[in-house]
Amino acid sequence: MNLLKRMYRNETSVPFSKLWKPITLCSLAVLILSIGGLGFRGLNLGLEFEGGGAWEVPAENIQAEEVRDALRPLGIADARIQTGGGVLRVRTELSKVTQNALDSGGESDPIVAQVTTILAQITQQDESAVSVSTAGPSWGEEITNKAIKALIVFFIVIALYITIRLRWEMAVGALVAVAHDIAITVGIYALFQFEVTPPTVIAFLTIMGYSLYDTLVVFDKVRDNEHRLSNAKLSYTEIVEKALNQVFMRSVNTSITSILPVVSVLIVGSGIMGAVTLREFALALLIGLIIGTFSSLFIAAPCATVLRNKFGNADSDKRSYRLSEAVRRRSKSSVPVAHSTPSNPAIPPRPRKNKRR
């Protein structure tokens, strides 16, 4: 209770720098586990990546065996059949779909249409109630390639952006954090064999955007503190730690507001209402959001700090000092409250037309 109260009032003084080492080690272990999982188990790729055919039809109270028997004459009794959530799903491999297309030689309907007919029959519905999709393996590959290309460009642009806006050490820290988030999320997908579909890839991409937003909020505070605390003879690590404590509640809150809707999508949308596609998005998002918040505080920040302590040179300090001088001069007129100084002289203070009484 006491802790909660302190958190609410933002009076936490978590010794972040002491936590960094053990937490980084834990993170590293999880990372290794993730990569190992990816290496040994691989990803459970969806239809769009492996190719094949998939059918979906609303159906209550239908047994998988019943469906399997009905599909046996087509030679696809080994299809993956899922029931539940009021929806029957059937998925079969690429080779089956193609083989049959060749066998039929145009004489009978292709297997895709035949399965549709059968599913419509056993669920006693019109064929138009059946959703069908077929895909070759190239489609998912293309989406992934595009996503990877987008990721690389994104990394470069963001690295430049943070270097110009903040510091190159922070750019490295932010990117390490983003990479960490994506690696762990993908690793979890491999370990638990969750199905990877194009929506999942989209969700992975969103994670990086979110993780970055969070990290930037943290770094912005650090940068602010660099200016303010420059004559307080604090070490860089202490400056960062102070900043982390200041943004801690902010981080927790922004995470909660982001996670709540995603949880709702996962539980209400996909769990209760059975929209599978929603789960494909929401699961990756949820994992990514949680890890993203964590990594801003425990990966990005220490990474930037270590780099800064190691490579921080007089030049950049001087630059930072000049900046803070400029800030101080400019804000002289305003009430001398420690936290009121805008950190970036590039942004002039909002002109105030009418003085406050």
Partner 1 sequence: MKRQVLFPILGIILIVGGLLSWSIAAGNSVLLGLDLEGGAEVVLEPAEDTELTGSALDEALDRSVEIIRNRVDGLGVAEPDITRQSNRIVVQLPGVEDQQRALEVVGQTAELRFRPVCATLPPMPIETDGEQTGDNATTNEGPVGLLPSDADDLPQEGPEIDANQDNAGATPEGIGCENLGFTQNDALGMPNTIADDDIAENPVILPVLDSEGNPYQRLLLGRTMLTGAALETADATFAGLEWSVFPTFRSGEEGIDLFNAAASACYNRQPTCQVGQLAIVLDGVIESAPTVNTPYFERDQIVISGNFDQTRAEDTALVLRYGSLPLEFGDPTDPTSGSRVRLVSATLGQDSLDAGIIAGIVGLALVALYMFAYYKLLGVAAMLSLAISGTMLWVILSWLSETRSLAVTLAGVVGLIVSIGTSLDSNVVYFEHLKEDIRNGRTLRSAVDQSFPIAFKTIFWANLASLIGAAILYILTVGSVRGFALMLGLASILDLLATYFFLRPAVKFMGMQNALQNRPWLSGLPVVEKEEQK
Query: Of the candidates 257, 310, 314, 333, which one interacts with partner 1 according to CB under 8 A?
Result: 257
Query: Of the candidates 247, 287, 299, 323, which one interacts with partner 1 according to CB under 8 A?
Result: 247
260 binds partner 1 (CB under 8 A): yes
Shortest spacing between CB 217 and partner 1, in angstroms: 5
258 binds partner 1 (CB under 8 A): yes
> What is the full DSSP assignment across 241-306?
HHHHHHHHHHHHHHHHHHHHHHHHIIIIIIIIS--HHHHHHHHHHHHHHHHHHHHIIIIIHHHHHH
* CA-based torsion, 220, 350, 232, 319: positive or negative: positive
206 binds partner 1 (CB under 8 A): yes
In whole angstroms, what is the distance from residue 313 CA to residue 290 CA?
Answer: 34
350 binds partner 1 (CB under 8 A): yes
In whole angstroms, what is the distance from residue 98 CA to residue 115 CA?
Answer: 13
Query: Of the candidates 14, 25, 29, 157, which one interacts with partner 1 according to CB under 8 A?
Result: 157
Radius of gyration of the chain (CA): 27
Query: Of the candidates 154, 316, 317, 321, which one interacts with partner 1 according to CB under 8 A?
Result: 154
Contacts by 38-42 with C-beta closer than 8 Å and gap 24+? 38/186, 38/187, 38/190, 41/190, 41/191, 41/193, 42/190
- Residue entry with tokens 């400019």: 330
Shortest spacing between CB 274 and partner 1, in angstroms: 7
163: which residues sit within 8 A by CB, 6+ positions away? 171
Shortest spacing between CB 203 and partner 1, in angstroms: 8
Q: Where are the alpha helices (H) located in 87-197, listed in sequence order?
A: 94-104, 111-122, 137-165, 168-191
225 binds partner 1 (CB under 8 A): no
224 binds partner 1 (CB under 8 A): yes
Query: Of the candidates 221, 227, 228, 308, which one interacts with partner 1 according to CB under 8 A?
Result: 221
Site string for partner 1, 179-198 (x = CB under 8 A): -------------------x
Stretch that binds partner 1, among 7-15, 34-42, 67-75, 232-240 (CB under 8 A): 7-15
Shortest spacing between CB 63 and partner 1, in angstroms: 20
- Contact assessment for residue 187 and residue 31, using Cβ atoms and an 8 Å cutoff: yes
Which residues inside 113-142 make contact with partner 1, applying CB under 8 A? 113, 127-139
Shortest spacing between CB 74 and partner 1, in angstroms: 14
CA 273 to chain CA mean position, Å:
24
Which CB atom, from 52 or from 173, has the smaller least distance to partner 1? 52
277 binds partner 1 (CB under 8 A): yes
Shortest spacing between CB 355 and partner 1, in angstroms: 11
Shortest spacing between CB 25 and partner 1, in angstroms: 29
Shortest spacing between CB 191 and partner 1, in angstroms: 24
Which residues inside 294-323 make contact with partner 1, applying CB under 8 A? none
87 binds partner 1 (CB under 8 A): yes
150 binds partner 1 (CB under 8 A): yes
Which CB atom, from 248 or from 298, has the smaller least distance to partner 1? 248
- Contacts with partner 1 by CB under 8 A: the residue count is 103
SS3 45: strand
- Contact assessment for residue 246 and residue 10, using Cβ atoms and an 8 Å cutoff: yes
Stretch that binds partner 1, among 17-25, 49-57, 71-79, 314-322 (CB under 8 A): 49-57
Q: For 57, phi and psi rounded to 5 degrees? A: -150, 140
- Contact assessment for residue 254 and residue 214, using Cβ atoms and an 8 Å cutoff: yes
- Contact assessment for residue 244 and residue 297, using Cβ atoms and an 8 Å cutoff: yes
Query: Of the candidates 81, 172, 282, 283, which one interacts with partner 1 according to CB under 8 A?
Result: 282
